[in-house]
Amino acid sequence: MSTSTSPLALPFPSLPAIPGVSLRVARARYKNWDRCDLTFVTLDEGTSVAGVLTTSKCPSPEVEWCRKALPLGTARALVVNAGNSNAFTGNRGRAAVEAIAARTAQHLGCEPSDIFVASTGVIGVPLPIDKAEAGLDAAYTAEPCAWEDAAATIMTTDTFAKGAMTTAVVDGRTVTLAGIIKGSGMIAPDMATMLGFIFTDAAVDAMFLQRVLSEANGTSFSCITVDGDTSTSDTVLAFATGKAGNMPLANDDDAGADAFRAALADLCRKLALLVVRDGEGAQKLIEITVEGAESDRSAHRIAMSIANSPLVKTAIAGEDANWGRVVMAVGKAGEPAERDKLAIRFGATQVAQGGLAVEGYDEAPVAAHLKGQEIEIGVNLGLGEGRATVWTCDLTHGYISINADYRS
Helix (H) or strand (E) holding 93: helix 90-108
Q: How many CB atoms lie within 10 A of CB 178?
A: 22
Is 167 one of the annotated active-site residues of the chain?
no
Determine the Cα–Cα distance for residues 170 and 249; give it in Å rounded to an integer.
Answer: 9
* 193 among annotated binding-site residues: yes
> Cβ distance 73 to 207 under 8 Å?
yes
Q: 185 with 158: CB under 8 angstroms?
A: no
- Residues near 385 by beta carbon (within 8 Å), at least 6 away in sequence: 292
Say whether 403 counts as a known binding-site residue.
yes
Based on its alpha-carbon atoms, the radius of gyration of the chain, rounded to whole angstroms, reads: 22
Distance of alpha carbon 53 from alpha carbon 46, whole angstroms = 23
- Measured from the Cβ of residue 363, the count of other Cβ atoms closer than 10 Å reads 12
Q: Is the distance from CB of 283 to CB of 395 less than 8 angstroms? A: no
User: 32: annotated binding-site residue?
Assistant: no
Q: Residue 156, annotated ligand binder?
A: yes
* Active-site hit among 120, 193, 349, 396: 193
Q: List % helix, strand, coil for the chain (3-state, nearest 5).
A: 35, 25, 40
Q: How far apart are CA 350 and CA 365, in angstroms?
A: 11
Report the candidate in 382, 352, 347 with the shortest Cα–Cα distance to residue 365: 347
Distance, CA of 244 to CA of 372 (rounded, Å): 42
Conformational region of residue 374, where left means phi above 0, alpha means psi within -120 to 50, and beta covers everything else = beta
Residues in the annotated binding site = 156, 182, 193, 280, 403, 408
Q: State the catalytic residues.
A: 193
Residues in the annotated binding site for substrate = 156, 182, 193, 280, 403, 408
